[in-house]
Amino acid sequence: MPADNVTDVYADLPLTLSESGTGRPVLILHGGGGRATVAGLAEHLSRTAHTLTPVHPGWDGTHRPAWLTGVDDLALAHLHHLHDRGLDDVLVVGSSLGGWIAAEMAVRDTAGRITGLVLIDAVGVHVPAEPITDVFALDPRGLAEHSWHDPDPYYADPADLPAGQQALRRANMATMRLLAGDPYMHDPKLLRRLGRVHAPALLLWGESDRIVTPAYGEAYAAAFGDGRIEVLPKAGHLPQIEQPDATLALVDAHLRRTSTRFAP
């Protein structure tokens, strides 16, 4: 991934991000696992677009001001960054928690800067019949079994990691619990607001996701003014890692389909 830049969104909020490529702006938002979970997406999309891949404040040792206590704060910070840069015709791609942030950005985007969305196994809404699994209650092996179609190639015992990496993972989880733990992993008002979002939304879902099920994803997609879902076989919560070719092909097509300014 290219070297990071740091830009001040507010006086007390520096935003760490990497940028690469030229063309249509694509904002890529990671989930609770950090920016490494979307590194492949960013590398691929930078070949045909201008990618911006931030680290959410509070992740990976970055600064989180005391007032930043919710996903709505993250959404506004990223939206204000787009405004400050004068970026429009933006495709926002978000994985898991990043998908929630993308949806919250879209409902607040009164300037119409966002013209397309890709939500990958996103959390963020409440679907009574399909509750979100409590990831904070799972041990590391249980989390892997809920997250992957086949956990064995991806599971690593955290106890085997260097002490510094263990501490960073604990800090990331603490930040996620602070921002998204109450109410757990959703905004009670978001689902009914999504009908006002008319930017085309593509929801990509791993068929084997046990954190948020495909049925949850179907309800999420149906709530958008213009939403559809594609379910990916042999993938769990991170299809961009388990099934990268199929995932990237769908993202590429949505990138071309939704642009209002840039030629395909």
| Contacts of 158 by beta carbon, 8 Å cutoff, 6+ apart | 140, 166, 169
Domains along the sequence of the chain with CATH: 4-258 (3.40.50.1820)
| DSSP string across 134-156 | -GGGS-HHHHHHHH-SS-TTT--
pLDDT on residue 262: 62
221 phi/psi in degrees, rounded to 5:
-60, -40
The pLDDT tens digits of the residues spanning 206-228 come to 999 999 999 999 999 999 999 99
> Residue 49 burial (CB < 10 Å; 0-12/13-18/19+)?
buried
Extended beta strands in the chain, E state: 4-10, 13-20, 25-29, 50-55, 90-95, 114-120, 201-206, 227-232
Asked if 115 and 90 touch (Cβ cutoff 8 Å), the reply is yes
Task: Say what the alpha-carbon torsion angle 43, 100, 103, 52 is, to the nearest 10 degrees.
Answer: -20
| Residues with pLDDT less than 70, the chain | 1, 262-264
**CA-to-CA distance for 11 and 157, rounded, in angstroms?**
39
100 phi/psi in degrees, rounded to 5:
-60, -45
- pTM comes to 0.97
Among candidates 73, 44, 78, 36, which has minimal Cα distance to 246? 44
